[in-house]
Amino acid sequence: MQKSISINFDTHYHTMGQPSEQTQEVWVACHGYGQLAKHFMRRFDVLDPDHHYVIIPQGLSRFYLADDYNHVGASWMTKEHRETDIINQQRYLDAVFEQEMKQFGQEVKINLFGFSQGVSTVWRWAAKRKLAFHKLVMWAGEFPREFTKEQLAFVPASAKIYAVIGTQDQYYQPERFEALANKMEKLCKRPETILFEGKHEVNRVVIKEISER
């Protein structure tokens, strides 16, 4: 017989930058499958730490990446007890966000960033919270299939959405990428698409470019 239980447990996340009155933009960046926040955060070192503050949550399920047990990665969810994983990750992201935002007395712009599996993670969290973001970057990841137009009514008209992928990414298919843009246009707004020469990876140059737009 399968049963369930609610527990409290400690977990971690990383930040980059120094919160101050000069901080203008706060980023919440969710890593991809098999990654760790402490490594993923390095991709954001191109942002000016005086004006940008980056919060990098850690996927709650960690595992060894190979039989040598030397390298560890993490996942946001799997198909096993999928709904429970989604609820847990959203509670975690809420707690991290609320704790970090207490540091700012001034109004700041909120930017959301998801890579690979982190794209659907950050989108579902934003929709649950109805978070009025400034920018949302979908990097080589899936837009949640279950979304409806009503669920996405919270997206500000002024928000900027970017769909980014490398042309050598094993998941890149031009037709599929265009279909994603068309679907989003019907549900909320069409993303600005950005292609770069690269594989399934986050490119610092593109991050810098998006931050300056």
DSSP, res 107 = -
Class of domain 13-211: alpha beta
- Extract long-range pairs of 117-123: CB within 8 Å, 24+ residues apart: 117/30, 117/32, 117/33, 117/59, 117/75, 117/76, 117/77, 117/141, 118/29, 118/30, 118/31, 118/32, 118/76, 119/30, 119/143, 120/144, 121/30, 121/76, 121/77, 121/89, 121/93, 122/28, 122/30, 123/147
Percent of the chain predicted with pLDDT > 90: 96
Across residues 101-118, what is the average pLDDT?
A: 97
Across residues 194-212, what is the average pLDDT?
A: 97
Tens digit of each residue's pLDDT (9 = 90 or more) over 164-192: 999 999 999 999 999 999 999 999 999 99
Question: Is 68 a residue whose pLDDT tops 90?
Answer: no
**Taking the C-alpha atoms of 64, 38, 42 and 19 in order, what is their torsion angle to the nearest 10 degrees?**
160
Question: Is 87 a residue whose pLDDT tops 90?
Answer: yes
Structural domain spans, the chain: 13-211
Q: What is the pLDDT of residue 69?
A: 92
Q: What is the pLDDT of residue 11?
A: 94
Question: Is 206 a residue whose pLDDT tops 90?
Answer: yes
Across residues 99-118, what is the average pLDDT?
A: 97
Model confidence, pTM: 0.96
Q: What is the pLDDT of residue 121?
A: 97
Pair 59, 100: CB distance under 8 Å: no
Question: pLDDT-based confidence at 43, cuts 50/70/90?
Answer: very high
Tens digit of each residue's pLDDT (9 = 90 or more) over 132-161: 999 999 999 999 999 999 999 999 999 999
